[in-house]
Amino acid sequence: MLEQINSTTASIREKTNNFNPQVGIILGTGLGGLVKEITVEHVIPYNEIPNFPVSTVEGHSGKLIFGKLGGKNVMAMQGRFHYYEGYNMKQITFPVRVMKALGIHTLIVSNASGGMNPEFEVGEIMIINDHINLFPDNPLIGKNSNEMGPRFVDMSEAYKKSYIDLAKKIAQENKIRVKEGVYAGLTGPCFETPAEYRYLWRIGADAVGMSTVPEVIVAKHSGINCFGISIVTDLGIEGVVQNVSHEEVQQVANAQEPKLTFIVKELIARI
């Protein structure tokens, strides 16, 4: 893997004239509009990057974007990789390894999720304060390289508390409604049954999705600070479970995109 990371990093540096990113951003379903706020300097399609998988999901365009946002050098993944696409955990999280090698100190992840918390509404913006890993695999299983991170990783603060507090302050200052909660990561690709929603709520999750957890685990292994934010695009509250489609998820996410974009842009400017 170290050879692949070095090969990929060298290729990206060559294509971006040694651009040095400080912040990495993984943009989820319907949240790619943040790219419009970036002063773009370089764009590389995934299929032109050695060792990179290619996203197969509608709404994930599959490009690395490099530029300025909030006064910082950023690199953004416009399209991420999922376990349900058939990729293994090391493939899914490979871009985070590359981001670290390129120099980022902070990773911002966004996603669409189903909400179980009875206080949530469709379109709720939830700042992630913790997660529950319900994937059947972990990206750190296997031989560990001390060069990439420790064998056993402390996850007591998977999402940096000072970033959470700052994001809540930004939202309050601008009268943007946000909630805070725990995100559960499952494989997908099917949405949850009513019984599964009840189970997730009872074990302490406020929202559920099919991404984010693997990337954050690897970021923490790499010594990167993380901030996660989710748009609740459908509800699985007991007695209020709704039929849902991928198209509806994208519509709700797109409607809330300007608020989330503003929070993330301001957060990057202030960290």
Task: Round to whole Å and give the CA distance between 233 and 60.
Answer: 17
Contacts of 117 (CB under 8 A, 6+ apart): 179, 181, 201, 206, 207, 237
d(CA 96, CA 77): 10
Return the structure tokens found at 158: 């998977």
**Measured between alpha carbons, how far apart are the two ends of the chain, in Å?**
31
**Number of domains present in the structure of the chain:** 1
C-alpha neighbours within 13 Å on the C-beta side of residue 245: 4
User: CB-based burial of residue 167 (10 Å sphere; 0-12 exposed, 13-18 middle, 19+ buried)?
Assistant: buried
pLDDT score recorded for residue 247 = 77
Distance CA 133, CA 126 (A): 18
What is the rounded distance in angstroms from the CA atom of residue 171 to the CA atom of residue 177?
7
Domain that holds residue 164: 2-270
255 CB-contact burial (10 Å; exposed 0-12 / middle 13-18 / buried 19+): middle
pLDDT at 239: 74
- The pTM assigned to this predicted structure is 0.94
For position 257, what pLDDT does the model report? Answer: 87
pLDDT at residue 250, rounded to an integer: 75
Give the pLDDT confidence score for residue 5 in this predicted structure. 96
Q: What is the pLDDT of residue 248?
A: 74
- List the structure tokens of 37: 């706020």
Cis before 150? omega within 30:
no
Question: What CATH code is carried by the domain that includes residue 82?
Answer: 3.40.50.1580
Q: Consecutive sets of 10 residues in the chain, 271 residues long: mean pLDDT of each?
A: 95 97 87 85 95 69 92 94 94 97 97 94 95 98 95 98 98 97 97 94 97 98 97 85 72 84 95 94
**How confident is the model at residue 243, as a pLDDT?**
72
Q: What is the DSSP string of 224-265?
A: -EEEEEEEEEEE--TT------HHHHHHHHHHHHHHHHHHHH
